[in-house]
Amino acid sequence: MLKILIDFFIGTALFIIFLILKVLGKRISSNLCAIIFSTFGALTKFENIAKKNILFVWPTKKETEVKKITNKMWKNIGRNFGELIHLKNYKPLNCSQTKIVDLKKIEQLISFNKKKKRGIVFFSAHYGNWELGPIIIKSLGLDPLCVYRKSNNKFVELLIQNIREKNATYTPKGDIGAKRSYLWLRKGKSLALLMDQKLNEGLSIDFLGKPANTASFIADIAIRMNLDIVPIKFSRDINNHNIITFYKKINMPKNKLSKNKKISFILKQVNNIMSQWIKDQPENWLWIHRRWQKDLYV
């Protein structure tokens, strides 16, 4: 009972905050939340997790460099939070503050797959404003199913999904999500995944040069259903305008490898692509996940 009351209080507080942010407008909300998160985020346990992750990947980085990355990371998280309530009205294809890289190429790929009545698997990372993924995919005429980690607070879960539901259909990760994804793709629809999340199982594949458990589902389903896998990156320019970049589809193994080797081949590409994004602009990534082995965070 006490947990329900606490969850209700948190959910109500979040609802009020979103109402205030909606009244303030997108630009003010984004700037304000960037300041708040960069100020108070550094005081939380997540700051230490971020620092451990950064030094695990780049052990020679100076403390000032690490602090600069985490400070900008918190600002990015804050902006994502401040902008979330405003995304219902976001039109990426007609927004002067949004640049889409290789739009024509992805439109051609979508057109080709539609003729084949075949879905596409898109993937990204918790990088830039990753909440833009379902919106841009839908704006391109697709109906994406997004697999996500469900909140433990049912009131927060209800609130967030109410904000998101206009842009895409969401399903929680796990067995139910996997089954629903398969059925969704069989209808020729598309799937959207974030591939950098913490995982207790999966294959050990290098991520930022360090072994990390990586979900094999994206590779398994693409092989089974002969689907294209397309990376999509979300970043910000110096004015905090959105840059959405579509990359070439993942190379599928052509030689006669075993299924396990094919899966490993694909996952290495997936992790290498995300790793390069993070190396290019480390402040854009969500460093607060316990992404690697448990003893790192003791």
Question: Which of 184, 182, 207, 177 is closest to 270 using CA atoms?
Answer: 207
The rounded distance, in Å, linking the Cα atoms of 73 and 281 is 10
- pLDDT at 257 exceeding the cut of 90: no
pTM of structure:
0.93
Q: What is the mean pLDDT of residues 281-298?
A: 92
pLDDT in tens, 77-96: 999 999 999 998 888 888 88
State the pairing for strand pair 169-172/144-148. Answer: parallel
Q: What is the mean pLDDT of residues 284-293?
A: 94
List, in order, residues 6 or more apart from 81 with CB less than 8 Å away. Answer: 33, 37
pLDDT in tens, 116-125: 999 999 999 9
153 in helix, strand or coil?
Answer: coil
- pLDDT at 254 exceeding the cut of 80: no
Query: Residue 297 falls within a domain, yes or no?
Result: no
Domain CATH number, residue 198: 3.40.1130
Question: Which pLDDT score is estimated for 3?
Answer: 82
Query: Residue 292 falls within a domain, yes or no?
Result: no
Residue 210: strand pairing partners:
207
Domain holding 57, by residue range, is 2-287
pLDDT in tens, 274-288: 999 999 999 999 999
* 8 A C-beta contact, residue 132 and residue 245: no
- pLDDT at 258 exceeding the cut of 80: yes
DSSP class of residue 211?
E
DSSP class of residue 202?
S
- pLDDT at 36 exceeding the cut of 90: yes
Question: Which pLDDT score is estimated for 196?
Answer: 93
* 8 A C-beta contact, residue 230 and residue 193: no
Query: Residue 298 falls within a domain, yes or no?
Result: no
Place of tokens 């397309």: 230
216 in helix, strand or coil?
Answer: coil
Query: Residue 16 falls within a domain, yes or no?
Result: yes
Question: Which pLDDT score is estimated for 177?
Answer: 87
- pLDDT at 14 exceeding the cut of 90: yes
State how many domains the chain has: 1
Question: Which pLDDT score is estimated for 130?
Answer: 95
* 8 A C-beta contact, residue 5 and residue 12: no
Q: CA 297: distance to chain centroid?
A: 22
